[in-house]
């Protein structure tokens, strides 16, 4: 279990009843780093587009956002609506407040393919929670969460974006981290995956990053974790 209390609060609020219009606006804002040419389409359900993403290769393709539990049903309705309205593109992005297992993600990609689309990115609960963690404005506006993250955080201080996929090909390294006692030191070239490996270590509940140099805040964070 993730021991970061602020992150757990975000997950709890994402599991509650959210304002769908606010979620659509928030999703567009949170994924703009990946798709700079994205715009919100208010009331776009009839056209199958909650947002429009331009890749400068023709007309914009759809962003589909949902807070409902039936994610695949929402995806299906929106893609069919897009087709009905003669939408020309055959790729889409999905954002959902729901937690998705790998099986559910695979099912969503398969459904999109059945309708002739490539689902090029899925932003699920965990992905959006990580981005909300670093967005205090949306934590307040969408989730009603105030305050600051703990000095001990599940999210590292890094200018590089966190890769949104599971750990692959590093099983031996991860096993060494979890099973070796005492202090450990990771060494490697920039970009070799040290932070991502430690991030996977953190989200699986084995540790946290120190993200504040205030000793009092660090001590308070340690106290919250161990009590």
Is 115 among the domain residues?
yes
List the alpha helices (DSSP H) in 1-124: 5-14, 20-30, 71-84, 102-114
Question: By residue range, what is the domain housing residue 193?
Answer: 149-226
Residue 140 lies inside a defined structural domain of this protein:
no
Answer yes or no: is 77 within a domain. yes
Do residues 122 and 169 both lie within one domain?
A: no
Considering the domain architecture, whether residues 30 and 126 belong to the same structural domain is answered as: yes
For the stretch 177-227, pLDDT in tens is: 888 888 878 888 877 778 888 878 877 778 877 877 777 777 767 776 665
What's the pTM? 0.74
Residue 99 main-chain phi, psi, to 5 deg:
-80, 135
| Residue 84 in tokens | 């009905």
In terms of average pLDDT, the best of 38-42, 132-136, 214-218, 220-224 is: 38-42
């Amino acid at each position: 279990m993730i021991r970061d209390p602020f992150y757990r609060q975000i997950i709890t609020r994402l599991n509650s009843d959210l304002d769908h219009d606010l979620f659509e606006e928030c999703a567009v804002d949170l994924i703009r780093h990946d798709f700079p040419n994205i715009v919100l389409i208010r009331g776009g359900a009839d056209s199958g587009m909650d947002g429009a993403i331009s890749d400068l290769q023709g007309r914009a393709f759809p962003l589909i956002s949902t807070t409902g539990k039936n994610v695949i049903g929402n995806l299906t309705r929106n893609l069919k609506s897009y087709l009905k309205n003669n939408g020309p593109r055959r790729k889409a992005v999905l954002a959902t407040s729901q937690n998705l297992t790998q099986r559910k993600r695979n099912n969503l990609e398969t459904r999109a393919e059945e309708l002739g689309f490539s689902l090029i990115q899925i932003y699920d609960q965990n992905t959006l929670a990580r981005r909300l963690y670093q967005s205090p404005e949306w934590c307040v506006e969408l989730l009603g969460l105030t305050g600051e993250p703990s000095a001990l955080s599940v999210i590292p201080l890094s200018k590089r974006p966190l890769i949104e996929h599971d750990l692959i090909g590093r099983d031996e390294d991860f096993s060494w981290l979890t099973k070796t006692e005492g202090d450990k030191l990771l060494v490697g070239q920039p970009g070799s995956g040290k932070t991502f490996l430690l991030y996977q270590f953190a989200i699986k509940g084995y540790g946290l990053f120190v993200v504040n140099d205030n000793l009092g805040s660090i001590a308070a964070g340690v106290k919250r974790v161990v009590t």
